[in-house]
Amino acid sequence: MYFVAREFFKSEAAGEFASALFLGTKFIFITHFSGEYGWVLATALSLFTIYFMWKRNAAAFILFPAVFYLHPAIGLNLLLAIAVLFLFFKEKVPVTGLAISVIAATPALYMNYLPIITNLLLEHGGLAVAQRLDLLSLPALLPARAGIVPLVLLAVCFAFLLAKKAQFSREEKAIAAIMLSAAALSFGTMLFSVPISDKPMELVGLAVMLLCASFLAKFDLTGLLRPALVTAMLALLCTAAFFGSASMTHYRLGPKISLDEARFAEQFRGFDPSLSRALILSKGSGKIAEFAGKIPYDLLSKHNISTISLMYYSKSDYLFEKGKQEAQQAIVASTCGDCIADANVDYLVVNEDYFQKKFDYPVVFSYGHFLVYRKTQ
């Protein structure tokens, strides 16, 4: 954020303000908690792509296809941002070079995009229908993407500059256009139930922070506060808002795995460090398997693999994994007595606080209220 804002607005203060405002956002940290590391890296490389493009550095041609390789939705965000920038700064956007870089990277993109293209053209996997969101729910995503402090400051600064009849630079108009275009894309994808409707809101959040940083840099603070002090105050305010956030507290408390489950997973990994197959009956089953270094029976749980049928070459592969997910749900609901016997796993792990039933398999390990049964010899 610092490098992009400094280079784009030609202002050291804008760069410092942008980096401080970034502390107030939550989306990067939420994706860390979710384990979406490819998403985080793609976002960082997107910013560096624009930075190097503005510097006329050839590194932009390496990073541009890398973003698409890491995360298609973030690649779409970057493409939208570059398209809008091209409308304002044709001389700055090397369209031909970027296109050639993507073509040159085709072998690397092949494995990521072939299933999607195959399914779209031949309708093998089918497009998974995203959960339809209420129209009013998307604006509610903004505080998580941009942060309360950057949003409030942007509104206050914009109102003040309008009252002063200040002129807005071409750079500021371009960032505002990116913000509005990304918001429109988010609404559009939501209306058509495309499962990426929340991703463009990230671009909206980045645009909010950049625009706010530029507006703050316009104010003459000489004699009042030095820019460094303003940056420190912004960082402190954003950090306070960050740690006071209800959503961040929710993620810190571990909605995908409890502390007891994490402790058990560590002990289970010590008991058997091999990559064994396990049917885990606990609320955080997917994350327990991840922390314990095991292959979960339900691979679709907790971001182990994609739950979007569009990502699979054949419908049968997707339905096979979906069937195992439904079988585990049926076990928990006590509606499938044969599902455990039919499960091809090495271990059956039972959290007795979550699933109250004993089994005839030998117990080979226990920790707290967790029992580990050996299902196969």
Q: Please tell me the predicted confidence (pLDDT) of residue 224.
A: 55
10 Å CB burial of residue 267 (0-12, 13-18, 19+) is middle
Q: Which residue has the higher pLDDT, 50 or 130?
A: 50
Average pLDDT over residues 338-354: 88
Taking the C-alpha atoms of residue 234 and residue 150, their distance in angstroms, rounded to an integer, is 9
Q: Please tell me the predicted confidence (pLDDT) of residue 194.
A: 66
Structural domain including 203 reads 2-252
Taking the C-alpha atoms of residue 158 and residue 367, their distance in angstroms, rounded to an integer, is 57
Q: Please tell me the predicted confidence (pLDDT) of residue 331.
A: 84
How many domains does the structure of the chain reveal?
Answer: 2
Taking the C-alpha atoms of residue 332 and residue 346, their distance in angstroms, rounded to an integer, is 19
pLDDT confidence of 64, banded at 50, 70, 90? very high
My answer on whether 235 and 316 are in the same domain is no
Say yes or no to pLDDT of 131 above 50: no
My answer on whether 126 and 86 are in the same domain is yes
My answer on whether 35 and 177 are in the same domain is yes
SS3 per-residue string spanning 91-149: CCCCHHHHHHHHHHCHHHHHHHHHHHHHHHHHCCCCCCCCCCCCHHHCHHHHHHHHCHH
Q: Please state which of the ranges 237-241, 280-284, 289-293 shows the lowest mean pLDDT.
A: 237-241
Paired tokens of 66: 């890398």
Q: Please tell me the predicted confidence (pLDDT) of residue 266.
A: 93
Average pLDDT over residues 272-286: 90
My answer on whether 230 and 154 are in the same domain is yes
My answer on whether 239 and 320 are in the same domain is no
Taking the C-alpha atoms of residue 313 and residue 319, their distance in angstroms, rounded to an integer, is 11
My answer on whether 147 and 37 are in the same domain is yes
My answer on whether 63 and 99 are in the same domain is yes
Domain closes at, from 252, 281, 313: 252
Average pLDDT over residues 208-215: 92
Q: Which residue has the higher pLDDT, 122 or 167?
A: 167
My answer on whether 289 and 156 are in the same domain is no
My answer on whether 277 and 200 are in the same domain is no
How many residues in total does the chain contain?
Answer: 377
Neighbours of 258 (CB within 10 A): 18
Q: Please state which of the ranges 58-72, 111-125, 274-288, 346-360 shows the lowest mean pLDDT.
A: 111-125
Strand partners, 372: 349, 365
* Whole-structure pTM value: 0.73
Paired tokens of 358: 């004993």
Taking the C-alpha atoms of residue 19 and residue 157, their distance in angstroms, rounded to an integer, is 18
Where residue 147 falls (left for φ over 0; alpha for ψ -120 to 50; beta otherwise) is: left
Domain closes at, from 220, 252, 284: 252
Q: Please tell me the predicted confidence (pLDDT) of residue 124.
A: 47
Say yes or no to pLDDT of 117 above 90: no
My answer on whether 98 and 161 are in the same domain is yes
Q: Which residue has the higher pLDDT, 235 or 271?
A: 271
Q: Vertex 291, ends 286 and 297: CA angle to 5°?
A: 35
My answer on whether 212 and 330 are in the same domain is no
Domain closes at, from 252, 281, 305: 252
Q: Output the CA torsion sign for 238, 243, 246, 250.
A: positive
Say yes or no to pLDDT of 130 above 50: no
Average pLDDT over residues 2-28: 86
Taking the C-alpha atoms of residue 349 and residue 363, their distance in angstroms, rounded to an integer, is 10
- pLDDT tens across 146-173, in order? 678 888 889 998 998 999 888 999 999 9
Paired tokens of 207: 């645009």
Phi first, then psi: give them for residue 147, nearest 5 degrees: 95, 145
The torsion angle over the Cα atoms of residues 146, 152, 153 and 155, rounded to 10 degrees, is 100
Paired tokens of 149: 């402090």
Check: CB of residue 82 under 8 Å from CB of residue 100. Answer: no
Q: Which residue has the higher pLDDT, 159 or 142?
A: 159
Taking the C-alpha atoms of residue 361 and residue 279, their distance in angstroms, rounded to an integer, is 13
**pLDDT over 70, % of the chain:** 79
Query: Coil, helix or strand for 365?
Result: strand
- Give DSSP secondary structure letters for 30-82: HHHHHT-HHHHHHHHHHHHHHHHHHTT-THHHHHHHHHHHH-HHHHHHHHHHH
Q: Please tell me the predicted confidence (pLDDT) of residue 178.
A: 95
Closest CA to 45 of 61, 22, 26, 56: 61
My answer on whether 345 and 281 are in the same domain is yes
Average pLDDT over residues 70-82: 91
